[in-house]
């Protein structure tokens, strides 16, 4: 139905109400949905918006200090945002498609991406905006990799809560990630098999005793594997990763109990996975201290999500802060 309000919406580049499903159908926290709604209405207090309202502010972007701060600049055009989108490995052809305004960009991306990708997309946008606020209010800047990891963790935690709203206090206590001892690096790994795509994803994350994210690796293998095969390949990647970085005291942590037991076993492994597990165990000589630990998947969230989203990537990512 046509109305004066719908005409106003069209003039301002705002989607009509019947098209809001691309926001409200996202499996993300309500605050993230509301953020997207505000973006599409240009209702966030960017410095350019404040300047237009005669507020005495410098309207340069507080992150890069090079361009006027509009929503399009903050979320997609700023060099800091571009680095995050490149790290995310969401389809570049969708993210960089021509658009007239930020509302159109959000709408087109949400409608063109697969549902899991669209959920990650809006969560990354929300985290980019939060980082912008910290830069403005606290002069606090983070590495692009850290913002992306926060988005992945936020989305995964929300998904896990939706799947299990009755988690007991005891289970919550033992199902969270804990930092390693001083001078020790904890390397989490996970492997994911996606039968529909006949491929395998590997995720590896390294953090220090303060919980600071040091590095990660995400790898896409274009061949299918059984779940245990994917996990042992991820464990191998974690060990080789730690050795390459020269870390001497390491905890290797994963959520597949059978693989952790296999790596702890001092006996020779004659199973089909034996050649790989024996190779992994042989790498132990590179470390002064090495411990294998099994944890619940909730304590392995970032590695799990990296492995899952590696299916959308054709290459590995290996970055160090």
- Domain spans, the chain: 4-160, 182-320
Look up residue 267 and give its two tokens: 């006996």
* pLDDT in the model for residue 250: 97
Whole-number pLDDT of residue 114 = 84
pLDDT at residue 313, as a whole number: 57
| Model pLDDT, residue 2 | 41
Query: In which residue ranges of the chain is pLDDT below 70?
Result: 1-20, 160, 162-175, 194-197, 311-321
Find the length of the chain.
321
- Angle (CA) 42-7-35 rounded to 5° is 25
CA geometry: angle 57, 58, 60, nearest 5 deg: 140
Classify domain 182-320 by CATH number. Answer: 3.30.420.10
Q: What CA–CA distance (Å, rounded) separates 100 from 82?
A: 18
Handedness of CA 129, 91, 199, 217 (dihedral sign): negative
Angle at 13 between CA 12 and CA 18, to 5 degrees: 110
Residues 6+ apart with CB under 8 A from 136: 62
**DSSP bridge partners of 216:** 205, 319
Spatial CA neighbour of 191 closest among 160, 220, 214 = 220
> In 10 A of CB 193, how many CB atoms?
20
In the chain, DSSP assigns E strands to 185-194, 199-207, 213-221, 249-254, 289-294, 317-320
Q: What is the phi/psi pair of residue 289, to 5°?
A: -140, 130
State whether the Cα torsion 302-307-309-313 is positive or negative. Answer: positive
Provide the pLDDT for residue 290: 95
pLDDT for residue 170: 39
Give the span between the Cα atoms of 178 and 198, in whole angstroms.
34
The radius of gyration computed from the CA coordinates of the chain, to the nearest angstrom, equals: 22
């Amino acid at each position: 139905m046509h109305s004066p309000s719908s005409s106003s919406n069209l003039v301002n580049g705002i989607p009509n109400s019947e098209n809001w499903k691309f926001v409200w159908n996202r499996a993300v926290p309500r605050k993230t949905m509301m953020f997207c709604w505000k973006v599409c209405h240009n209702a966030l207090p960017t410095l350019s918006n404040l300047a237009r309202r005669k507020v005495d502010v410098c309207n340069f972007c507080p992150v890069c200090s090079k361009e006027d701060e509009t929503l399009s600049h903050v979320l997609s055009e700023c060099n800091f945002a571009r680095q995050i989108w490149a790290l995310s490995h969401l389809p570049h052809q969708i993210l960089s498609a021509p658009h007239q305004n930020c509302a159109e960009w959000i709408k087109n991306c949400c409608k063109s991406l697969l549902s899991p990708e669209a959920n990650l997309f809006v969560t990354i946008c929300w985290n980019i905006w939060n980082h912008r606020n910290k830069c403005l209010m606290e002069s606090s800047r983070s590495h692009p990799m850290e913002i992306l990891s926060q988005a992945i963790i936020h989305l995964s935690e929300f998904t896990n809560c939706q799947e299990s709203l009755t988690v007991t206090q005891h289970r919550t206590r033992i199902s969270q990630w804990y930092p390693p001892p001083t001078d020790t690096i904890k390397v989490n790994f996970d492997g994911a098999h996606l039968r529909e795509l006949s491929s395998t994803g590997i995720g590896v994350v390294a953090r220090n005793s303060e919980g600071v994210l040091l590095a990660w690796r995400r790898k896409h293998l274009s061949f299918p594997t059984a779940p245990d095969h994917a996990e042992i390949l991820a464990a191998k990647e974690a060990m080789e990763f730690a050795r390459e970085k020269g870390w001497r005291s390491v905890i290797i942590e994963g959520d597949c109990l059978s693989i952790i037991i296999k790596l702890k076993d001092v006996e020779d492994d004659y199973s089909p996975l034996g050649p790989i597990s024996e190779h992994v165990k042989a790498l132990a000589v590179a470390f002064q201290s090495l411990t294998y630990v099994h944890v619940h998947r909730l304590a392995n969230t970032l590695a799990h999500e990296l492995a899952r989203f590696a299916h959308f990537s054709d290459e590995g990512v290996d970055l160090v802060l």
